[in-house]
Amino acid sequence: MTRHSDDLALALRLADTADRISSEHFRAQDLRIDTKPDRSFVTEADLAVERALRDLIAAERPGDGILGEEYGTEGDATRQWILDPIDGTANYLRGVPVWGTLIALAVDGVPVVGVVSSPALGRRWWASTGEGAWTADETTGEPRRLQVSGVSELEHASLSFQSIAQWDDAGYLDKLIALTRAVWRDRAYGDMWSYMLLAEGVLDAVGEFDVKTYDLAALIPIVQEAGGMFTSVDGTPGPGNGSSLASNGHLHPALLAALA
């Protein structure tokens, strides 16, 4: 038992609830889709998942605060649950299976528990500070500990850059192109999956712009407990800086230098 064992157990139960709701709506012909003021999409599944998770947290941890993508912030931020009910909503509404629910607990602003659950892929990843990062699939159900890769040179690295439009809008397109020429392989796997592939040692680096705290908080403990590093593109730690740069750690200085 560790300091956050009970919190991780709760986060996993929250993920079970989220999976049931999101799976019921996935690829449903009558799925209701709306456009938010920022022109991003929200589905009835996003809203239903977040409501259910908020209700469970209020019942189990009534003193904790909550930050969610769809319903904002409430309560104390000292211990704050951070929720993205469906990360990859655009994939979800088109029937692409790369999406998942992100659940984090941050203490004094530092994410200490993270769960990523992707029922359409049949996968789940989780971590708590000091206890390693783990994954399991629905076929075996057996947990497997995660470890980032040992790649130490950019020329041998596999990079996921998420979206050309993101980098272009942020004014980093030229740097992205230069970086793709420096690495062995580049792809845009997208959303939470890129970071989980990094934690598994399949990818070596992930960079992204136009991201919010709820997009990143659950990913940070998983990447870090797998042995990786997670900062913004300018090297600032934490999930609230508007960009992300995650790596196996070995490559982080070279990546920061390439993007400076």
Confidence of residue 45 (pLDDT cuts 50, 70, 90): confident
| Average pLDDT of the segment spanning 35-63 | 84
Residues in the annotated binding site for Mg(2+)? 69, 84, 86-87, 215
Residue 220 tokens read as: 């940070």
- pLDDT-based confidence at residue 182 (cuts at 50, 70, 90): very high
What percent of the chain has pLDDT above 70? 94
The CATH fold of domain 2-143: Fructose-1,6-Bisphosphatase; Chain A, domain 1 (3.30.540)
Question: Which sequence spans correspond to the domains of the chain?
Answer: 2-143, 152-257
- Span 39-57, average pLDDT: 85
| Binding annotation | 69, 84, 86-87, 215
> pLDDT value at position 89?
84
The DSSP element (H or E) to which 203 belongs, if any, is: none
pLDDT: is 245 or 75 the higher one?
Answer: 245
3 state SS of 137:
strand
Q: Which residues contact 201 (CB under 8 A, 6 or more apart)?
A: 146, 147, 148, 149, 226, 248
Q: Backbone phi, then psi, for 150, in 5-degree steps?
A: -105, 15
- Average pLDDT value for the chain: 92
pLDDT band at 26 (very low <50, low <70, confident <90, very high): confident
Q: Which CATH number fits domain 152-257: 1.20.1260.10, 3.40.50.300, 3.90.1150.10, 3.40.190.80?
A: 3.40.190.80
Q: Which of 122, 118, 120, 205 is nearest to 158 (CA)?
A: 205
Helical axes 44-60 vs 5-25, angle rounded to 10°: 150
| pLDDT tens, position by position, 219-230 | 999 999 999 999
Per DSSP, the three-state class of 33 is strand
Residue-wise pLDDT tens digits, 139-178: 778 899 999 999 999 999 999 998 999 999 999 999 999 9
Chain centroid to CA 135: how far? 14
Cα gap 73→59, rounded to integer Å: 17
Helix (H) or strand (E) holding 225: helix 219-225
Is residue 95 scored above 90 in pLDDT? no
Phi-psi region of 141 (alpha: psi -120 to 50; beta: other; left: phi over 0): left
Q: Calculate the CA 19 to chain-centre distance.
A: 16
- Is residue 38 pLDDT above 70, yes or no? no
Structural tokens at position 9? 């157990």
In this prediction, residues 240-244 reach a mean pLDDT of 95
Instruction: Report the pLDDT value the prediction gives residue 92, as an integer from 0 to 100.
Output: 85
